[in-house]
Structure 1
């Protein structure tokens, strides 16, 4: 039977309060703070994304609960400090959504999806200004995954005209950065400068993130796909070697590369 939303939410808030109670609560929960809980919040968001990718409603239900619990956790710690409570969080986001959707909640005419995106950015810029966050790149969280933040930084800069004209231009830049990295990989017998290598690899990744952006792709999603592909193909190598009574450590690189090619062929044929 579906639960009443208000009753279920109140119960969750009460559970959190019990866990944080200074005398009768859980010793672990009692000592947590915003900084110590933040990594769990990020982790739970990724687990929600993973549940969506796996297409499992049951897992998604569980992971959304874990993520909601993180919101309640932070709200409880804020309430203990006299800052705000969960109801204030819920009220603030409701007000924000109403403010950002006047075509739904007000008298403004219906917008297309593109018009809504443009209006949303204007509204967000105004909200940043009220928080004294000035500058084109203000308000892009530093805690975002680096590839995502790279794409967001240049997307924001692109709105004021500072951008590559197209994906081909980004590819040209990618080749330039690859050449600079190659130049740092010295072939004269002297060790490469670690700091320079880090800088050049960072430039290469930055350009790759923006190549994805120019192609209307999410760089994080592209890399996740590549990770899944690698896991799938390497698992094929391990399983095939296991049938032959071997492990990857007992095999040559040539053997594993041959099996890698086999895995690619199998994927193409299925």
Structure 2
């Protein structure tokens, strides 16, 4: 039995101690075996679950999910503390110093007229800190671990700041059509469809940027819409006493169109 005090209420320091206990001698074998790499995906999943709680506007759920994210931070810091490279206080120290450095309008004598100046200064200071000497350096620094659509959008925004951009959405739409044509041509001729599909996605993100549409939110909404329509399709097939796998594509498509129309009428009513 490990020594950990039971309390009616715990604080941040208690969580740090608990992580250390779980990973230490006499603790949990699974926790002790984990590495940064083995729980990398867990970190991402917990962050996404916290975002989902934000979308739900559920404070209780958000509190729980932020706790899971905090646990991940502490877990990774504890791994490093055991290795003697850094600990949680080092993480906090680096973050505090970074925030002070990047807020000269708060902690220094830099004047700003609004949030636009704040973001512009932040970008300049970040490039200096990261030793990004060129615009291409700043583009390459956008994390490859980001979802592809978000990474594309962030790269495009950085390029836009130096004037590499369409004047309006019309140019982005023309480029999107051009990429669609190139993909269709690659399909017909056996060309590099993977590359052309990537270019199409990249251009679609650019259109969304002009329309101020978050590309990840847009595609998630489309996924939810498809699920809703498919649920309606499946219910209609069941009402006919039929199994989906026994129906032709044409029959399924007709049910899908009916589902789409029924749902549109429902929300228009």
- Give the TM-score, by structure 1 length: 0.87
Quote the offset at 1:132 in angstroms.
Answer: 11
Q: Which runs of 5+ in 2 are unaligned?
A: 1-7
Q: Give the equivalent residue in structure 2 for 1:264.
A: 264
Judge which range, 127-136 or 57-66, deviates more: 127-136
Q: Give the equivalent residue in structure 2 for 1:60.
A: 62
Residues 205 and 236 of structure 1: CA distance in aligned 2, closer, same or farther (over 3 Å): same
Q: Which runs of 5+ in 1 are unaligned?
A: none
RMSD: 2.4
1:229 aligns with 2:225: yes
Q: Give the equivalent residue in structure 2 for 1:160.
A: 162
Quote the offset at 1:237 in angstroms.
Answer: 2.7
- What is the rounded CA distance, in whole Å, between the counterparts of 2:231 and 2:121 in structure 1? 47
Quote the offset at 1:130 in angstroms.
Answer: 7.9
Would the aligned equivalents of 2:23 and 2:32 in 1 still touch at CA under 8 Å?
yes
How many residue pairs get aligned? The number is 258
- What is the rounded CA distance, in whole Å, between the counterparts of 2:236 and 2:60 in structure 1? 33
Judge which range, 133-142 or 207-216, deviates more: 133-142
Residues 74 and 210 of structure 1: CA distance in aligned 2, closer, same or farther (over 3 Å): same
Q: Give the equivalent residue in structure 2 for 1:218.
A: 214
Quote the offset at 1:260 in angstroms.
Answer: 2.2
- What is the rounded CA distance, in whole Å, between the counterparts of 1:132 and 1:19 in structure 2? 45
Return the match for 2:18 from 15, 18, 29: 15
- Deviation per CA, 1:146-185: give whole Å up to 9, x if none: 1111111122122222222221101001111111111122
Q: Give the equivalent residue in structure 2 for 1:77.
A: 79
- What is the rounded CA distance, in whole Å, between the counterparts of 2:135 and 2:36 in structure 1? 22
- What is the rounded CA distance, in whole Å, between the counterparts of 1:236 and 1:55 in structure 2? 27
- Give the TM-score, by structure 2 length: 0.87
Quote the offset at 1:108 in angstroms.
Answer: 3.5
Quote the offset at 1:244 in angstroms.
Answer: 4.8
SS at match of 2:131: helix
Residues 215 and 201 of structure 1: CA distance in aligned 2, closer, same or farther (over 3 Å): same
- Deviation per CA, 1:60-99: give whole Å up to 9, x if none: 1111110111100111111111111111112221221122
Would the aligned equivalents of 1:104 and 1:110 in 2 still touch at CA under 8 Å?
no
Residues 175 and 133 of structure 1: CA distance in aligned 2, closer, same or farther (over 3 Å): closer
Counterparts of 1:100-139 in structure 2 under 5 Å?
100-129=102-131, 135-139=137-141
Would the aligned equivalents of 1:102 and 1:108 in 2 still touch at CA under 8 Å?
yes
